[in-house]
Structure 1
Amino acid sequence: MAKGAERNPVFNRRMVLMLLGCLLLFGGIFAFKMFGKVMMNRAFDNMPLPAATVTAARVERQLWQQTLSAVGTMRAVNGVEVTTRAQGVVKRILFDSGQRVEKGDLLAELSAEPEKAQLDVLEAELRLARRDHDRIKALHVRGVTTDAELDETLSKLEQVLANIRVQREEVEKRTVVAPFSGRLGIRRVDLGQNVAPGDPVVSLQQMNPIFVDFYLPEQALSQIKVGLAINVTTDTYPEKTFPGKVSAISPRIDNASRNVLVQATMDNPGDLLRPGMFADVTLDLPGRRALLVVPRTAVSFSPYGNAVFVLKKDPDGGGLIAHKRFVKTGEERGNLVEIIEGVQEGARVATSGLLKLRNRGPVRINNENEMPVKLNPRPGNS
C-alpha cells in the first residue's frame, strides 16, 4: 500500500503534463487557423472588385406615332345558324361541311309530298275558276249576266290565287337556302332525320370583310373617329399584321366599365381570320410625340421602383463605373421602353448583365453580341 501511494503523485504529474501538451498543440492549431481566416478576410476586403462585362446603349430620343391599344374579338359581318322553318323529314342534303356557298344556294330539302299535292289541287281549282270568270265576263259584255255574278267569279278566282300563294309558301318552307354568301360550318342534320321548326341545320359565316370589336376607355372618346387606321395581330398568325379602319363607334358608354365599344372593318382574303378569334388591336391616332427610350433589357423592374445603371467614367482610375438611377417608365413598344424621368438623352446605360452590377462598381463594355432593338421585333422562330 505504501509503494502504490508513492507512485500516484508521479503518475498524476505525467498525466497533467500530457494534457497540457495536448491543449497547447490543439490551441496552437486553432489559433493558426483563426489567424489565417482573419488575414484572408482582410485580403478579400481590400481586394478590388473585378469589372463586370456588360452590353450598353445610349438613351435616344425618338418620334413615336400616338396609339391606343386594346384587345378585341373578331366578328363576322353576317353570321347565323341556318335553321328549318317547318316540320318534316330531311329528304336531301346538298352541301358539305366547310363549303363556300352563294346567296340563294339550296342547302337541304324536307319531304313535302302532301303540300305539293295540295298545291296541285289548288292549281286545278285555279284553272276552273279562271274559265268560269272568263265565261261570265264574256256573257256580261253582251248583257246576259249581272254585275253580281261577275263579281262572284272574280272573288273566287282571287281566293284561289291567294290560297296558291299560301300553299307555295308552305312548300317553300320545306327547303333550306343560304340567306347570304359565306362559308358553312359543320353539318347538324342527317338524312331521314325528323326535324322541327327552328332546328339548326348548319352555321353560315360571311368572313370577308370581317369586323373586330374592341373597347376603349371613355377618356379616349375625344381622340377616336370613324376612318382611323388600326393594325391587328393574333396569336394564330404572330408574323402577320392585318390593317383595317374604324367603321363605327357606339353612341353609348358602358355603365359598368365606362368603356366605349368600337368596331373596325378589315379585309380578310383567304378567310384567315375567323369569328370569335382573339385580337390585339393598335389604333393609330393623329400626330407623333418625341420621347426618350432605352432597350427594355436596360430597366430593372421591381416593386419598389424601376432602375437603370448609368455608365460613367471613373474620375480616379479612368475606367467605367455603374451608377444606379431610379427612373419613371412609360409606354412600351417592342423591346423599347419610354423613360419619362430619371436619365438624360445621350446617357449610356447597361443593357445586359444587370444582376452582376453594383452601385459604383466597375464595368467593362462588350457589344459584340448585342441584341437588335426594334419597335416591332419579329423572332425568326415565331
Structure 2
Amino acid sequence: MTQLAILAAIGGAGAGWQIYGEQFGLRPPLEMLGLRQASTQGGARGGVQGGPVAVIVQPVRVGQVVERVESVGTVRAREAVTITTKVAGIVEAIRFTEGERVDAGATLVQLDAAALRAELDQARAMLDDSRSQLVRGRQLQAGATIAAQRLETLEAVARQAEGRVRQAEARLEELRVIAPFAGRVGLRQVSPGALIQPGTVITTLDDTVRVRVEFSVPEVYLARIRVGSGVTAHSSAYEGRRFQGTVAVIDTRIDPATRSVRVISEFDNADEALRPGLFLTVELVLEQRDRALLVAEEAIDPVGDHAYVYVVRDGRARRQEVRLGLRLPGEVEIRDGLNAGEPVVVRGVQRLRNDIPVRVTETLTRPTS
C-alpha cells in the first residue's frame, strides 16, 4: 500500500504541474517526472562516446624566414658636386650637353684665355733666352774666363723664367673648367659670352651608376643592424620593380629627437633609374633563418600569453606549448617546442583536449593558404 501511495503522489504531482503549466506556459522539472537530463558535454569536447575525433594534420615544415624592418629613404648620388669657376672670365665655349655622361677630366667650360696665352708665350720666350745664355756660359773653353758671380746670375734668371712659365700655365688651366669625376651633368646655368665671377654656378655633376639611399631605423633595432645586410627598396615611380642593395654605413650617433639611427645603403644603378632625391620605401633585413620551423596559422591555440598546438603521437592529440616567431602569410614560425616533420593538427583543433584519441583523415603536404 505504501508504494502505491507514493506512485499515486508522483502521478498526482505530474498531473498538477501539467494543468498548472498549460495555464501559465511552464514545464515541470524533469526530476519530478523521474527523468534525468542527458549529458552531452563529454561528446562535444572529446567525442569519446562517438570514438576518436577526426582531424587533419600537417607536418612541421622547414623553410626560410626573413625578418625585416621598414623605413623610408631618399636617393643620393654616390658623388655629387656643383660645378663653378675659381676665377672671373668670359665664357668662350661650352663643351658639354645637358644630361650627358662625361669622363673625369673632361672640359665642361672654356673661359676666354687670349691674354693669358700671350703672357705664356712671352714667358716661354724669356725662358728659352735665359737657358741659352746659361748654356753658353757653361760651355766656355778652359782658357776663357767668366766670373762665377755672372754664372750664378744666369742660373737665377733661368729659374725665374721657369717660374713665370709655370705660373702662366696654372692660370691658363684655371680658365678651363673640368669634370672632377665621371658622371652625368645637369642643366647649364651660363651661356657663351657671359661674364662670370668666382663661385658662379655652371651646372651640376652626379655619379649615379651607384647610388646611396639614406634612411632611419628605430634604436631598438640597433644591435641587429650589420654592415652588409640586405636592403630592398621600391618606389611608386616604378610599379612592381624592387631594387636590391646593402648597408654601407651606420651612423655613430642616435638622433635624440627621433630615437633613431641613420643608415646609408648602396645600390647598383647601371640604368640610372634611381635619381638623386627620389623617395623610396626601404626594407632592411635584420635576420635571415634558412631552416626555420613553420606550421599553419590555424594550428595555433592561443591561451592568454601562451600558445599551444596539438601534435598527434600514438593516435592521441598531445597538447604542446610552443614559442612563436615571425608570422608569414598563412604560417607561423615556431622558435621552440616542436621538431621538423611532427604531425600537427590543422583541422578540428576546436574539438580537442589533451590526450584525446584522434583519427587522422588527411595529411596535408603543402601550406594551407
Question: Is the TM-score greater than 0.5?
Answer: yes
Distance 2:82 2:200 in 1: 9
Go from structure 1 to structure 2 and tell me whether the alpha carbon gap of 1:268 and 1:169 turns closer, same or farther (over 3 Å shift).
Answer: same
State the Cα distance separating 1:290 from its structure 2 match.
6.5
Go from structure 1 to structure 2 and tell me whether the alpha carbon gap of 1:82 and 1:336 turns closer, same or farther (over 3 Å shift).
Answer: farther
| 2:99 match | 98
- Stretches of structure 2 that go unaligned for 5 or more consecutive residues are 1-59, 299-324, 334-344, 349-367
Distance 1:202 1:336 in 2: 53
Go from structure 1 to structure 2 and tell me whether the alpha carbon gap of 1:86 and 1:140 turns closer, same or farther (over 3 Å shift).
Answer: farther
| 1:356 match | none
Go from structure 1 to structure 2 and tell me whether the alpha carbon gap of 1:76 and 1:168 turns closer, same or farther (over 3 Å shift).
Answer: same
1:149 aligns with 2:157: no
Go from structure 1 to structure 2 and tell me whether the alpha carbon gap of 1:337 and 1:72 turns closer, same or farther (over 3 Å shift).
Answer: farther
Query: Any conservation in 2 of the 1:63–1:291 contact (CA below 8 Å)?
Result: no
Query: Any conservation in 1 of the 2:296–2:346 contact (CA below 8 Å)?
Result: no
| 1:222 match | 223
Distance 2:258 2:347 in 1: 41
State the Cα distance separating 1:142 from its structure 2 match.
6.0
State the Cα distance separating 1:238 from its structure 2 match.
2.3
Go from structure 1 to structure 2 and tell me whether the alpha carbon gap of 1:336 and 1:192 turns closer, same or farther (over 3 Å shift).
Answer: farther
1:124-154: per-residue Cα shift (whole Å, max 9, x none)? 1101111121122223866722333222221
* Partner SS, residue 269 of structure 1: coil
Aligned residue type for 2:202: V
* Partner SS, residue 221 of structure 1: helix
1:344-364: per-residue Cα shift (whole Å, max 9, x none)? x9589xxxxxxxxxxxxxxxx
State the Cα distance separating 1:256 from its structure 2 match.
2.9
Aligned residue type for 1:207: T
Query: Any conservation in 1 of the 2:82–2:204 contact (CA below 8 Å)?
Result: yes
- TM-score between both structures, scaled by the size of structure 1: 0.59
* Partner SS, residue 271 of structure 1: coil
Query: Any conservation in 1 of the 2:83–2:201 contact (CA below 8 Å)?
Result: yes
1:158 aligns with 2:159: yes
1:243 aligns with 2:235: no
Aligned residue type for 1:234: S
1:176 aligns with 2:177: yes
| 1:257 match | 258
Go from structure 1 to structure 2 and tell me whether the alpha carbon gap of 1:141 and 1:202 turns closer, same or farther (over 3 Å shift).
Answer: farther
| 2:211 match | 210
Query: Any conservation in 2 of the 1:64–1:291 contact (CA below 8 Å)?
Result: no
1:312-355: per-residue Cα shift (whole Å, max 9, x none)? xxxxxxxxxxxxxxxxxx9898x88989xxxxx9589xxxxxxx
Go from structure 1 to structure 2 and tell me whether the alpha carbon gap of 1:262 and 1:135 turns closer, same or farther (over 3 Å shift).
Answer: same
Query: Any conservation in 2 of the 1:332–1:338 contact (CA below 8 Å)?
Result: yes
Counting only pairs closer than 5 Å after superposition, residues 333-372 of structure 1 correspond to structure 2 as 346=346
Go from structure 1 to structure 2 and tell me whether the alpha carbon gap of 1:207 and 1:294 turns closer, same or farther (over 3 Å shift).
Answer: farther
1:12-69: per-residue Cα shift (whole Å, max 9, x none)? xxxxxxxxxxxxxxxxxxxxxxxxxxxxxxxxxxxxxxxxxxxxxxxx9986411122
| 1:89 match | 90
Distance 1:140 1:338 in 2: 101
- TM-score between both structures, scaled by the size of structure 2: 0.61
Identity level (%):
31
Distance 1:293 1:74 in 2: 39
| 1:110 match | 111
**Higher normalized strand content (fraction of residues):** 2
Distance 1:346 1:158 in 2: 94
Moved over 4 A (4+): 60-63, 140-143, 289-295, 330-333, 335-339, 345-348
State the Cα distance separating 1:252 from its structure 2 match.
2.4
* Partner SS, residue 74 of structure 2: strand
* Partner SS, residue 130 of structure 1: helix
Distance 1:259 1:146 in 2: 78
Go from structure 1 to structure 2 and tell me whether the alpha carbon gap of 1:286 and 1:159 turns closer, same or farther (over 3 Å shift).
Answer: same
State the Cα distance separating 1:190 from its structure 2 match.
0.7
State the Cα distance separating 1:277 from its structure 2 match.
0.8
| 2:195 match | 194
Aligned residue type for 2:213: V
Distance 2:296 2:196 in 1: 64
Q: CA RMSD in A?
A: 3.4
State the Cα distance separating 1:282 from its structure 2 match.
0.9
Distance 2:252 2:143 in 1: 69
Query: Any conservation in 1 of the 2:294–2:331 contact (CA below 8 Å)?
Result: no
Distance 2:197 2:263 in 1: 38
